[in-house]
Amino acid sequence: MATDSAKILVVDDDPAIRTLVHRFLTQKNYQVESAADGESALNLFDTFNPHLVILDVNLPDSLGYNLCEEMQRRTDVFVLMLTSRTDTEDKAIGFRKGADDYCTKPFDLQELEFRVQAILKRKRMVNAAAEKEPLVLGHLVIDPERREVKVHNKTISFTSLEFDLLYFLATHPGEALSRSRLIAEVWDYDQMVGDQRVVDVHIGQIRKKIDANASQPSMIKTIRGYGYRFEVPANLKDGKSS
């Protein structure tokens, strides 16, 4: 996706921050619209059809987490949460609601731009994956063209980032993947910018969706102090299951 064609919706009730981000991204040749509350944001969302939403958590008429969830019900839009909340659990809630990344206030505009570029680059990677065939791993089917995951023939809802992470793991079976590499490959961030704890949050959410017992994962194995490895049990290979 070319920078000049990318559309970004900025949602923040602080007029100083909203204007600052709007002007900055406009200067970077993005198409930008902005809103101060949830109601106007949803109206703009439907007419503007953005590729990315930069979304504040605390809005006068709604909670950004819920707005994120509603927007992702309507399209596969990427969401970057912009918030003063730094607690890990707050971030986990955002990720569970579908957020792709967090940028914590106060923030540096260059870091914001870096994160925006990385998310939009991931959009190009998603489009490229659409040419590939589904992965059939026993009860688990991952379809990159439809961006759809089925478990025991039932379609399971995945956020955009959860899908990207699962697909990357599944296409590198048996390989020890460090958290820093997953940050670099899936989030497209370097180690200094990416918060590696976000990997653990997303892995936890994926396990709950693909395993009957997430506390004893059958496919995504933890490598203590390092990262994760995707393993397909012998009885699930080549589409077979017991």
- Per residue in 97-109, pLDDT (tens digit) is 888 888 888 888 9
Q: Two tokens at 84?
A: 């003063």
For residue 238, the 8-state DSSP code is G
The CATH code of domain 3-128 reads: 3.40.50.2300
**Band (147; pLDDT cuts 50, 70, 90):** confident
Tokens of 215: 């506390």
Sheet holding 148-151, edge to edge: 135-137, 140-143, 148-151, 154-156
- The CATH code of the domain at 130-239 is 1.10.10.10
Q: How far lies 202's CA from each of 8, 35, 95, 199, 234, in Å?
A: 24, 29, 7, 5, 25
More confident residue, 12 or 187: 12
What are 204-220's pLDDT values in tens digits? 989 999 988 877 888 99
Q: How many angstroms separate the CA atoms of 66 and 84, rounded?
A: 17
Answer whether 64's CB lies under 8 Å from 55's CB.
yes
Q: Where are the domains of the chain?
A: 3-128, 130-239
User: Does the predicted model carry a pTM greater than 0.75?
Assistant: no
